[in-house]
Structure 1
């Protein structure tokens, strides 16, 4: 598609809606289902969250093959199949009383989410939109950024009125009745492959190989940056309120600070996506890492009750929001536009594995140290190291 072409709103609106539903039902819903499942089934929170963490690990191992299939033009089949699989597993979950089956369900949901979450949607956009992918990715993240705002209160009402099992059936209906249908009708079919005529044989065959990036130091620096920021992005939301309570903030102040994160993410994504003329993507990346480091440098000096906690929340949320855009759009600049989906999958694998253990690791560090001070220092160290790795990455990218 020409960079001067108009935005193909059909695919962008399709993926915006399906990402909103997928994240709402397959990511945010779990937090609301823990307590009623614990009461009804007698399974501990540790057992429940362990199964959830396995889904992140499962999704890591499916990330590259899913990306490769999308690169080959099978985005419609991959994302439609992911929604159907998610719906079926949610139905099985609604009727199960067996913990081993519950674990298997989440291993399967990990495979489904690898075909439904951002990396897959971004790969479909990159294949179909070309240079317009940046604007499309921004729109999707803006819409999906409201997944918790829409689905947390909606699912809370459903669970309270109908119970968690019927809520799971409603979630399944959304995945198959809306997401699967939209994926099947709104994503273009696989492009026709050229026939091997005598003329075409004279053209050198494609030497595309996503593993070529494994030999590039810049790739590993980008992975390091993504892993460190991924640990922060998944570990801190779980522990932020306990951190603030330990530092003397009231529960009301802690919750108020937490609510700043979401709007800051959305605002930063909007400015990042539509302000490309003001700052290059590489400059936005540097700003992203610097804001993360600045936030954790500020946090230890914020006294209980200080309004500066909202500054920290804003810096943290904005950095997270911008990071989504940077991770989606910078790899093509650094590593080429070929094999976008597979390369994103290769980056996602270590990121998701480390994200799976981050909440437990932060909790273990708190228990060992006796306070959250060690967690704050660790996050500051990771934020600074991610900034350094990113700067080295850009320096290497300038080399011939």
Structure 2
């Protein structure tokens, strides 16, 4: 039986709001908090960002267990517990002056985000909404795509007016007062399993185990594609302004180009999610990787002051936006709909571990080469590599 329209919109609306808040407070906020914490506590940027990287690694190790719990019908409790844990850890962060405690807090926040970010929400939708999940996933990514747009200016004002500690307490209040409540009330209980009538024995369907995908070369090619693209997106998000400045662009031009990426991502997600009849998911995936390669092929040839920097931002932003949809919706088509949450966790685990080291690796490349040229070459190689891996993946994956 398909879920009712009211239930569909209830869970999609709830998860759209909670993803907006979770990403805004547990991901984007960190960039604004680095400077005041460094100034007040005397901890270096390296030490602060190291804790953030550890959170990515922590979330990677919790990704598979969280996915399994959601597959078994515990999505409501997993996501509610994640919001409660996040709120408690944020309160502890607001009052701590100990760096070891700060590191432990971020290890815990990594576990919380594994239950709150896209993979968990998409798994809940897939379990409860079936085929309707596709449209719901698109809506969630559209709303959550504005997390930086909403929370960067909001938190900036709060930090200026009340200080970073009180701002973190506000973040905690949002997580427990809105996210935990919406997760508890908006996510349906596990779908009831049909019971046999009378005493008629109905044979249980054969168990399907998520580890079956580990024997498929197509699965590992899909993981490689996501590792390469995840490395690019994480490293570039930290280093893009310095890259533009290194190539001779003014700060105003660099900021304008960077600001364009977010809206383009949202627009690309909208067109991808609601225009699936015009192009298959596999075709959209090829276009996603091709746009990324084209962006980094173009960037080294853009002269300082040229408007073509906006073309790079549009290509790069569109690729990033489309990738979110492809990563969420293509695995069921390639590997089957069973154990969606666990399989997404198995994909996310190596991707997040690699992403954790991307900003440091890009910085090391810059220091070794003396400019960002080596970083741009590496991004182009990874983008082309992701395109080749994705096309091989499609060639090897079973036909639907």
* TM-score (normalizing by structure 2): 0.97
Deviations 1:72-122 (A, max 9, x none): 111000000000000000000011000000000000000000000000000
CA drift at 1:196: 8.0
CA drift at 1:194: 5.3
State how far apart, in whole Å, the 2-side matches of 1:7 and 1:193 are: 18
State how far apart, in whole Å, the 1-side matches of 2:48 and 2:249 are: 29
Is residue 2:236 matched to residue 1:236?
A: yes
CA drift at 1:191: 3.0
**What are the within-5 Å matches in structure 2 for residues 208-219 of structure 1?**
208-219=208-219
Is residue 2:269 matched to residue 1:269?
A: yes
In structure 2, do the counterparts of structure 1 residues 3 and 287 end up closer, same or farther at CA, with 3 Å as the change threshold? Answer: farther
In structure 2, do the counterparts of structure 1 residues 313 and 218 end up closer, same or farther at CA, with 3 Å as the change threshold? Answer: same
**Unpaired runs of 5+ in structure 1?**
none
Q: 2:40 aligns to what?
A: 40
Q: 2:223 aligns to what?
A: 223
Q: 1:60 aligns to what?
A: 60
State how far apart, in whole Å, the 2-side matches of 1:278 and 1:392 are: 23
State how far apart, in whole Å, the 1-side matches of 2:6 and 2:389 are: 36
CA drift at 1:32: 0.7
**What are the within-5 Å matches in structure 2 for residues 240-319 of structure 1?**
240-319=240-319
CA contact (8 A) 1:74 1:189 kept: yes
> Bigger shift: 387-396 or 196-205?
196-205
Secondary structure of the structure 2 residue equivalent to 1:8: helix
Q: 2:49 aligns to what?
A: 49
Is residue 2:130 matched to residue 1:127?
A: no
Q: 1:360 aligns to what?
A: 360
State how far apart, in whole Å, the 1-side matches of 2:206 and 2:33 are: 48
CA drift at 1:206: 3.3
CA contact (8 A) 1:3 1:131 kept: no
Deviations 1:3-33 (A, max 9, x none): 9968811000000000000000000000111
**What are the within-5 Å matches in structure 2 for residues 34-183 of structure 1?**
34-183=34-183
* TM-score (normalizing by structure 1): 0.97
CA drift at 1:273: 0.5
**Unpaired runs of 5+ in structure 2?**
none
In structure 2, do the counterparts of structure 1 residues 200 and 314 end up closer, same or farther at CA, with 3 Å as the change threshold? Answer: farther
Number of equivalences? 400
Secondary structure of the structure 1 residue equivalent to 2:313: helix
Deviations 1:198-238 (A, max 9, x none): 96754144312000000000000000000000000111111
State how far apart, in whole Å, the 1-side matches of 2:154 and 2:6 are: 35
State how far apart, in whole Å, the 2-side matches of 1:156 and 1:126 are: 36
CA contact (8 A) 2:93 2:102 kept: yes
CA contact (8 A) 1:59 1:114 kept: yes
State how far apart, in whole Å, the 2-side matches of 1:170 and 1:306 are: 42
Cα RMSD (Å): 1.6
CA drift at 1:190: 2.3
